[in-house]
């Protein structure tokens, strides 16, 4: 078990390092001159002062060999220092720390809704013996998957903000402002969860251990809850680790649609102004979230399925 945890932790660190290295390579070694881009961004169309260029190059270390730049930046990143924003001069870690809680609240709320909605659809459809109800429920996921996020967002805004003024359309004020964006973000994910979970629940219902449970006198509800759900959760759990990446990407779009402050706004502005340290900071934090979630998923496996911890070779 300890070896399993250590191996997963090692893999997580490796992924983080790779994310940092690749983003460094892409952003710093591309055939463009970061300094002139910065100066142009600060003073569009202005003349370029060579002394200023030299000063900036020295400040950011661009005059050093790439390997040295990389090692210095990596060393700083390990201690939590991700550099300074080119456009605003604020520390990148500060910008990230300001935006992150907003996005975290949005995505975790959306994840909760998606799990509840998807799980309920899957559980009811596999538990029910009415073929009509089952058919109706299973028609929902393909619908949810095929609707684009921005369109769901606009639809929800139109219905629940403009026609029925239940929730605010824009902004970050209070819990109410969180509802519509979170629902928007949750719908496609809940559809995928429902699809995968419904299928693995149907498979579980056909398993011989379900017959054993029914033969004990268990009700269908008890079988669904005690036997089917836990066995069916494993494939859905794998999906969850992958879905979190999509959730972060989706958050960027949704935050833009609902004009919310958060990662979405930060990324959009940083990319527009080519604020390289900020972009790299976002990449690394995104990778960090992804790695942490997948680490949690990996560690949850043995807790859910006792067969995994004993055979780490196949896990």
Partner 1 sequence: MSAQTAPVLQVRDLVVEYEGRGESVQAVRGVSFDVHAGEVVALVGESGSGKSTTAHAVVGLLPGGGRVVGGSVRLHGGELVGLTDKAWQQVRGARIGLVPQDPGIALNPVTRIGDQVAEVLRIHGRVRRAAAAQQAVEILRSVGLSDPEARARQYPHELSGGMRQRVLIGIALALEPALVIADEPTSALDVTVQRRVLDLLDDLTSRTGSAVLFITHDLAVAADRADRVVVMKDGEIVEEGLTAQVLGAPRHPYTRSLLAAAPQLAVRERVPPPAPTVGESPLLDVLSVSKTFRLPGHAGRTVQAVDDVSFSVARGGAFGLVGESGSGKSTVARLVLQLTTPDSGAVLLDGAPVTDPAGRALLRRRSQLVHQNPFASLDPRFTVAKIIDEPLRSHRVGSRSQRRDRVVELLEQVALGAAFATRRPGELSGGQRQRVAIARALALEPDLLVLDEPTSALDVSVQAQILALLDRLRRDRGLTYLFISHDLAVVRQVADRVGVLHDGRLVEVGPTADVFDQPQDPYTAELVGAIPGHRADPADRPLERSTR
Q: Does 33 bind partner 1 (CB under 8 A)?
A: no
Q: State in angstroms the smallest separation of the CB of 314 from partner 1.
A: 7
Window 212 to 251, contacts with partner 1 (CB under 8 A) = 212-220, 222, 226-227, 230-231
Binding string, 188-207, against partner 1, x = CB under 8 A? Answer: -------------------x
Q: State in angstroms the smallest separation of the CB of 216 from partner 1.
A: 4
Window 294 to 313, contacts with partner 1 (CB under 8 A) = 304-307, 310-313
Locate the DSSP E strands across 100-258.
none
Structure tokens at 56: 């900036």
Q: Does 147 bind partner 1 (CB under 8 A)?
A: no
Q: Which is nearer to partner 1, 24 or 127 (CB)?
A: 127
How far is the CA of 223 from the CAs of 119, 235, 304, in angstroms? 16, 19, 17
Q: Does 151 bind partner 1 (CB under 8 A)?
A: no
Q: Does 132 bind partner 1 (CB under 8 A)?
A: no
Q: Does 211 bind partner 1 (CB under 8 A)?
A: yes
Q: Which is nearer to partner 1, 76 or 307 (CB)?
A: 307
Q: Which is nearer to partner 1, 137 or 251 (CB)?
A: 137
> What is the rounded distance in angstroms from the CA atom of residue 173 to the CA atom of residue 82?
29
How far is the CA of 218 from the CAs of 81, 127, 198, 226, in angstroms? 57, 13, 21, 10
> What is the rounded distance in angstroms from the CA atom of residue 150 to the CA atom of residue 188?
11
* Longest pairwise C-alpha distance within the chain: 85
Task: Tokens 């066995």: give the residue.
Answer: 231
Q: Which of 249, 143, 141 is nearest to 197 (CA)?
A: 141
> What is the rounded distance in angstroms from the CA atom of residue 70 to the CA atom of residue 62?
10
How would DSSP label each residue in 222-259?
HIIIIIIHHHHHHHHHHHHHHHHHHHHHHHHHHHHHTT
Q: Which is nearer to partner 1, 47 or 311 (CB)?
A: 311
Q: Which is nearer to partner 1, 47 or 131 (CB)?
A: 131
Window 46 to 85, contacts with partner 1 (CB under 8 A) = none
What distance lies between CA 307 and its chain's CA centroid? 29
Q: Which is nearer to partner 1, 94 or 130 (CB)?
A: 130
Q: Does 2 bind partner 1 (CB under 8 A)?
A: no
Q: State in angstroms the smallest separation of the CB of 16 from partner 1.
A: 27
Q: Which is nearer to partner 1, 151 or 209 (CB)?
A: 209
Q: Which is nearer to partner 1, 130 or 212 (CB)?
A: 212
Sort 255 into a burial class: Cβ within 10 Å, 0-12 / 13-18 / 19+. buried
Q: State in angstroms the smallest separation of the CB of 122 from partner 1.
A: 18
Which spans of this chain sit near partner 1 (rule: CB under 8 A)? 207-209, 211-220, 222, 226-227, 230-231, 304-307, 310-314
């Amino acid at each position: 078990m300890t070896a399993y945890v250590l191996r997963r932790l090692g893999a997580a660190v490796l992924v983080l390092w790779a994310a940092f290295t690749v983003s460094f390579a892409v952003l710093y070694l591309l055939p463009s001159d970061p300094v002139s881009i910065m100066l142009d961004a600060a003073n569009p169309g202005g003349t370029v002062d060579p002394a200023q260029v030299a000063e900036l190059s020295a400040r950011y270390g661009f005059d050093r060999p790439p390997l040295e730049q990389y090692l210095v930046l990596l060393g700083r990143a390990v201690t939590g220092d991700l550099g300074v924003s080119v456009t605003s001069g604020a520390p990148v870690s500060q910008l990230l720390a300001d935006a992150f809680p907003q996005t975290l609240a949005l995505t975790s709320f959306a994840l909760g809704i998606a799990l509840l909605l998807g799980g309920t659809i899957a559980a009811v459809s596999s538990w029910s013996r009415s073929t009509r109800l089952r058919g109706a429920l299973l028609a929902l996921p393909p619908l949810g998957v095929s609707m684009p996020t921005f369109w769901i967002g606009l639809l929800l805004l139109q219905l629940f903000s403009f026609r029925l003024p239940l929730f605010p359309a824009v902004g970050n004020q209070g819990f109410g402002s969180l509802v519509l964006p979170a629902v928007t973000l949750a719908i496609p994910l809940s559809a995928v969860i429902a699809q995968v979970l419904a299928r693995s629940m149907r498979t579980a219902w056909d398993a011989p251990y379900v017959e054993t449970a029914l033969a004990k006198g268990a009700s269908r509800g008890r079988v669904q809850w005690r036997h089917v759900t836990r066995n069916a959760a494993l494939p859905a759990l794998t999906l969850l680790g992958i879905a979190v990446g999509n959730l972060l990407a989706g958050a960027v779009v949704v935050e833009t649609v609902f004009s919310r402050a958060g990662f979405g706004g930060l990324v959009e502005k940083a990319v527009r102004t080519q604020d390289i340290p900020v972009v790299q900071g976002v990449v690394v934090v995104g990778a960090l979230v992804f790695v942490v979630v997948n680490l949690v998923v990996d560690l949850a496996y043995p807790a859910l399925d006792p067969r995994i911890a004993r055979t780490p070779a196949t896990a």
